[in-house]
Homo-oligomer: A and B are copies of this chain.
Amino acid sequence: MKSIVIHAAKDLRIDERETGALGPGEVMIAIARGGICGSDLHYYNHGGFGDVRIREPMTLGHEVSGHVIALGDGVTGLAVGQLVAVSPSRPCYSCRYCREGRHNHCLNMRFYGSAMPFPHIQGAFRETLVAEASQCVSAEGLTPGEAAMGEPLAVCLHGVRQAGELLGKRVLVTGCGPIGLLCILAARRAGAGEIVATDLSDFTLGMAGAAGADRTVNMADASDDLAGYHADKGHFDILLECSGAAPALRAAIPALRPGGIIVQLGLGGDMTLPVQAMTARELQLRGSFRFHPEFATGLSLMQKGLIDVKPLITHTFSLNEAVAAFEMAGDRTQAMKAQIAFN
């Protein structure tokens, strides 16, 4: 079975690996599509991020869909041939956080394609995958590409939920990569009344407009900024920060009204923030990390036609073109979501 394995920065290989045995409660899946995420790119380009570094070869990938090819003992509710989205979130269900329902903070999480523990958690960019049945959500009626968007969509649904209800609210989105765009779709679905999006790329801002942003602002253009939203202590109720870039966050802060909520989805290391100004306006900075129940929610919303992610999938490469796919995935002048077709 072929797998896409990172060995070191810029050393991405298609290796042969064993599929592994099918145990009770498990499902064997022929992977159909895999989307390349920002963390995959960090491993590819830099061998990791922050303290998280590759210390052994690791199969990448955590945004996947596929067709069921075999069912382990005791599996019900799934059928051979069915298209499923596979959640990469594998909490232990028994640690203190799992018992509180905070599965995304599981002390023993085995999230696909993550170098955080050692040995690393091998990922899902592989021709065949054995997963727990509980990770699999029916994607009937969707394309394999849409199904593979279930994971980043779940991240964004989880993020938007951190902000509470959005009916008629004014929302600012900073960073218009796939997470930013899915946040725009999710915020609109949740009833946002006004959505403004910022980025430094005209390409991504164009896609943000197509996804439903009422206005886009290219912060690289000196004549076009957020100053028009500063009056009377600010304009936006909510900021969905998807860039992980401190300048984007800092520029957005004066545009938030007192009591405004910043949902931080972007991961970007240490940041120097105007904490005094944030305190004086009682802003709230709320971290949002991964997801758990939102995976099934996202699939369902796509199936009902309430969220349409198809326009975000700009590129699909074959498995043999994996390196080209990774090069393209990070190019924000022409690519939004790049996916790999495994079959």
Among A63-71, A158-166, A311-319, the stretch in contact with B: A158-166
Taking a contact as CB atoms under 8 Å apart, the answer to whether B281 and A105 are in contact is yes
A24 at the interface (CB under 8 A from B): no
- 8 Å CB contact of A189 from B99, B105, B164, B167: B167
Q: How many copies does the complex hold?
A: 4
Q: Which residues of B contact A167 (CB under 8 A)?
A: 157, 160-161, 186, 189-190, 294, 297, 301
Taking a contact as CB atoms under 8 Å apart, the answer to whether B276 and A270 are in contact is yes
Q: Which residues of B contact A288 (CB under 8 A)?
A: 279, 282
A254 at the interface (CB under 8 A from B): no
- 8 Å CB contact of A99 from B101, B107, B267, B283: B101
Q: Which residue of B lies closest to A269 (CB)?
A: B276
A94 at the interface (CB under 8 A from B): yes
What is the bound-complex CA distance between A102 and B161, given in angstroms? 19
A220 at the interface (CB under 8 A from B): no
Interface string of A167-205 (1 = CB under 8 A from B): 110000000000000000010111101100000000000
A310 at the interface (CB under 8 A from B): no
Chain A, range 77-94, C-beta contacts under 8 Å to B:
93-94
Taking a contact as CB atoms under 8 Å apart, the answer to whether A279 and B304 are in contact is no
Q: Which residues of B contact A324 (CB under 8 A)?
A: none
Interface string of A258-275 (1 = CB under 8 A from B): 110000111111111111
What is the bound-complex CA distance between A267 and B165, given in angstroms? 25
A45 at the interface (CB under 8 A from B): no
Q: Which residues of B contact A300 (CB under 8 A)?
A: 168, 193-194
Taking a contact as CB atoms under 8 Å apart, the answer to whether B297 and A287 are in contact is no
Taking a contact as CB atoms under 8 Å apart, the answer to whether A161 and B165 are in contact is yes
A280 at the interface (CB under 8 A from B): yes
Q: Which residue of B lies closest to A188 (CB)?
A: B306
25 residue pairs from A and B, CB less than 8 Å apart: A93-B99, A96-B232, A102-B258, A105-B233, A105-B282, A160-B167, A165-B165, A165-B166, A167-B186, A167-B189, A167-B297, A168-B298, A168-B300, A168-B301, A188-B306, A189-B191, A190-B191, A191-B191, A193-B304, A246-B275, A266-B279, A269-B275, A272-B272, A279-B289, A282-B288
Residues of A within 8 A of B (CB): 50, 93-94, 96-105, 107, 157, 160-168, 186, 188-191, 193-194, 214, 232-233, 244, 246, 258-259, 264-276, 278-289, 294, 297-298, 300-301, 304, 306
Those 3 A-B pairs whose CB atoms lie nearest each other, nearest first: A101-B101, A168-B297, A279-B287
